[in-house]
Structure 1
């Protein structure tokens, strides 16, 4: 089982290079094609602080956005050519969530960036970018690999942790992650405060993964004075994990979807790439 078609999202983002490196790393491993989808930011409206702004200002924003896209395209294509990966470039003027949802359903894997957890000016964050992995994981129907806002990740998927609770979402995440799990040096099935009434939590999943020739162990932990997301992040650090696999959990609507506490903690404080699936 291998990943053959990857979509990586670009924008006016200093982390485009990190996302490129991750996508090309996976593409080299699996012989995949990589498509970059660049979403052009919409220009600001023509009124600012109650005063009229001339059309020239509007056009300048458009020109600057297209110049940034052109620069990002050249860097992406050069990196892909250097790595010997077949690559393609797409630009869209649609909002990021809409563009990725529309294009992304025809790909094996979507690579996105973690939103800046502490932007200098939240007002200037483009619409939807502050919750992009959250929304896409619930809407696209494809696995989402989210790259942290900081750091470089030259090795992804060597030591993998699966956050397992037996739910539909975590089940889907495990099977979406099989292209990574079957190639990993080691996989840990990690269970927190699991129900032991049916035996050893995670044992059935471990047996299933072993039949796929996955090198796997099960870790069960009980926590009382720590939030589950924090416990996961701590275990990731303690075990030198380089990829976390977990289900994405959505609950009642406020604006789009309000995430469960564990998912929200991981997406706001991730230290390694996270594969999300719903």
Structure 2
């Protein structure tokens, strides 16, 4: 198994170039094609205008969106051509989650950006990206790599932390990440010990990864009073990891808002790329 097509999400966002460069770095490693998928943002109508929407305003925003799309296409094509990487350009006027959910199923890996976790103005967050990583990971059926909002981001995957709890989602993430795990200098398999006994042991997954030639270090960590997500981020920092691999666990939005969740915690505070699978 390898990655032969890597899809990167682009939109009306100044971080397009950084995501493209990151995708190119991975594509070089796996001799893969880079597919740039641009989602065209719809007109943004201020709430205070109510039902009255001047036609001129809508047309102006549509024209600006089209110009931005053309500029993004030219920049993407030029960057990939200069890098000597096989590439293709795709565009959609669907919402980002929907466009990527449908089109990424013919790719091996999807790269998206983390929404600004503390924007000065929420209106500046590119349309439809506020819940993109977690929702896409639950719907796409493909591994989703989320790049942190803070940058610049170097190539990742030399020192990987794998979050392991023995569940289906974690197993899917490990298998989806195998091309990266096999090429890593070090892989830290980390389980955050639960309060109650009886968790799935590490032995079986450790043996499997070693059979795949993964250079593995395992650890069971006592997270103490920390939430699991916070404990994983702390371990990643302590072990100088440049990539985290974890299962994407989904609950209702209400439950996540009230109780929080491992996926929500990590995606809200990440400072390294995270590969999510469900």
Q: TM-score, normalising length from structure 1?
A: 0.92
Query: Do structure 1's residue 79 and structure 2's residue 79 form an aligned pair?
Result: yes
Instruction: Give the aligned partner of residue 166 of structure 1.
Output: 166
Instruction: Give the aligned partner of residue 95 of structure 1.
Output: 95
Q: Distance in 1 between matches of 2:157 and 2:38?
A: 26
Instruction: Give the aligned partner of residue 245 of structure 1.
Output: 245
Instruction: Give the aligned partner of residue 176 of structure 1.
Output: 176
Q: Distance in 2 between matches of 1:175 and 1:236?
A: 20
Instruction: Give the aligned partner of residue 120 of structure 2.
Output: 120
Instruction: Give the aligned partner of residue 143 of structure 2.
Output: 143
**CA distance 1:250–1:205, shift in 2 (3 Å):** same
Q: Distance in 1 between matches of 2:216 and 2:169?
A: 20
Q: Distance in 2 between matches of 1:257 and 1:103?
A: 29
Q: Distance in 1 between matches of 2:69 and 2:145?
A: 22
Instruction: Give the aligned partner of residue 41 of structure 1.
Output: 41
What's the CA shift for 1:183?
A: 0.5
**CA distance 1:206–1:256, shift in 2 (3 Å):** closer
Q: How does 1:1-278 map to 2 (within 5 A)?
A: 1-45=1-45, 48-50=48-50, 52-123=52-123, 125-193=125-193, 197=198, 201-252=201-252, 254=254, 261-278=261-278
Contact 2:37 2:90 in 1 (8 A): yes
**CA distance 1:247–1:51, shift in 2 (3 Å):** closer
What's the CA shift for 1:15?
A: 1.3
Report the 3-state secondary structure (helix = DSSP H, G, I; strand = E; otherwise coil) of the residue aligned with 2:13.
coil
**CA distance 1:141–1:258, shift in 2 (3 Å):** farther
> 258-267 or 23-32, which moves further after superposition?
258-267
Q: Distance in 1 between matches of 2:199 and 2:204?
A: 10
> 86-95 or 165-174, which moves further after superposition?
86-95
What's the CA shift for 1:257?
A: 10
> 237-246 or 67-76, which moves further after superposition?
67-76
Structure 1 regions of 5+ residues with no counterpart? none
Contact 1:251 1:260 in 2 (8 A): no
Q: Distance in 2 between matches of 1:166 and 1:136?
A: 22
Contact 2:26 2:155 in 1 (8 A): no
What's the CA shift for 1:254?
A: 4.7
Q: Distance in 2 between matches of 1:179 and 1:168?
A: 19
Report the 3-state secondary structure (helix = DSSP H, G, I; strand = E; otherwise coil) of the residue aligned with 1:157.
coil
> 147-156 or 46-55, which moves further after superposition?
46-55
**CA distance 1:166–1:258, shift in 2 (3 Å):** farther
Aligned pairs, number: 277
What's the CA shift for 1:41?
A: 0.5
**CA distance 1:245–1:270, shift in 2 (3 Å):** same
> 253-262 or 107-116, which moves further after superposition?
253-262
Contact 2:116 2:125 in 1 (8 A): no
Q: Distance in 2 between matches of 1:132 and 1:238?
A: 28
Structure 2 regions of 5+ residues with no counterpart? none
Q: TM-score, normalising length from structure 2?
A: 0.92
Q: Distance in 1 between matches of 2:206 and 2:256?
A: 35
